[in-house]
């Protein structure tokens, strides 16, 4: 079983719809992240959370919101989806106690298409 | 403004030869650098890292070199194998955040 699980793997939605991408982890890590990948732009940070009561904006948080329901769960919402939010979305975790705490563990990704 | 740049979108190498992937950065506050590898339909996985106080780190076939004066990072894979074919992302840390490059597609031909 995957340590970091994202659902759904693929999603097609229409402009203006609200959607939620979910992430759960069994690694026991406190830190969780949401990234999006676009061709030619690499991975960009949307939101991150260092514990259940901590939520921080990343570099491209506009149009997104998150919820940290538990240590193991971190969901990303698009309140009103628009076509330029079409991208591959990744959830990741890290352990601050790890000497290499920059080492992120990624899920397999959610391919989102907004029509 | 991209702080971490991978200027080569793709690279093709013959099996057994050396692969060299390059990365340039602009922010002198970056203190830790990492390489991630990504296969299709999978998330990126950590490959190797280097602290800014070092200029080289080696792990098996993979070696990362850091030239701070040039703000340049490179990943050497020797010898290259077909299973190394993937997208490679360079990343740099500033504070609590990682900044990623756009990635380089490596194809190793057998």
Q: What is the pLDDT of residues B35-79, one digit of tens each?
A: 999 999 999 999 999 999 999 999 999 999 999 999 999 999 999
Q: Is the pLDDT of residue A101 over 60?
A: no
Which pLDDT band, with edges at 50, 70 and 90, does A97 fall under? confident
Is B43 part of the contact surface with chain A (CB cutoff 8 Å)? yes
Residue A61's pLDDT is what?
Answer: 96
Which pLDDT band, with edges at 50, 70 and 90, does B1 fall under? low
Which candidate in A4, A21, A43, A44 is best for mutational testing of the B interface (most B CBs within 10 A)? A43
Distance CA A14, CA A73 (A): 26
Q: What is the pLDDT of residues B6-44, one digit of tens each?
A: 999 999 999 999 999 999 999 999 999 999 999 999 999
User: What does pLDDT average to over chain A?
Assistant: 93
Residue B2's pLDDT is what?
Answer: 75
Q: What is the DSSP string of B35-83?
A: EEEE-TTS--EEEEEEETT-SEEEETTEEEEEETTTTEEEEEESS--GG
Which candidate in A4, A25, A42 is best for mutational testing of the B interface (most B CBs within 10 A)? A42
Q: What is the pLDDT of residues A33-63, one digit of tens each?
A: 999 999 888 899 999 999 999 999 999 999 9
Q: Is the pLDDT of residue B93 over 70?
A: yes
A14: closest CA of chain B, how far (Å): 23
**Contact at CB, A109 and B97, closer than 8 angstroms:** no
């Amino acid at each position: 079983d995957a340590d970091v699980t994202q659902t759904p793997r693929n999603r097609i939605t229409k402009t203006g719809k609200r959607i939620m991408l979910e992430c759960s982890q069994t690694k026991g890590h406190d830190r969780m992240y949401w990234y999006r990948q676009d061709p030619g732009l690499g991975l960009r940070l949307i939101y991150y959370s260092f514990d259940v009561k901590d939520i921080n904006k990343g570099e491209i948080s506009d149009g997104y919101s998150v919820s940290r329901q538990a240590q193991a769960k971190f969901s990303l919402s698009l309140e009103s989806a628009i076509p330029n939010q079409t991208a591959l979305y990744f959830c990741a975790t890290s352990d601050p106690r790890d000497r290499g705490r920059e080492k992120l563990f990624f899920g397999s990704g959610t391919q989102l298409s907004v029509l | 403004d991209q702080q971490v740049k991978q200027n080569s979108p793709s690279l093709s190498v013959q099996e057994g030869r050396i692969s060299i992937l390059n990365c340039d950065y602009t922010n002198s506050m970056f203190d830790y650098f990492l390489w991630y590898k990504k296969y299709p339909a999978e998330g990126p996985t950590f490959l190797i890292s280097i602290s800014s106080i070092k200029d080289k780190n080696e792990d098996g076939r993979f070696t990362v070199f850091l030239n701070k004066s040039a703000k340049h990072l490179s990943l050497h894979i020797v010898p290259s194998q077909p299973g190394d074919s993937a997208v490679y992302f360079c990343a740099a840390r500033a504070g609590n955040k990682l900044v990623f490059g756009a990635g380089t597609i490596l194809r190793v031909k057998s």
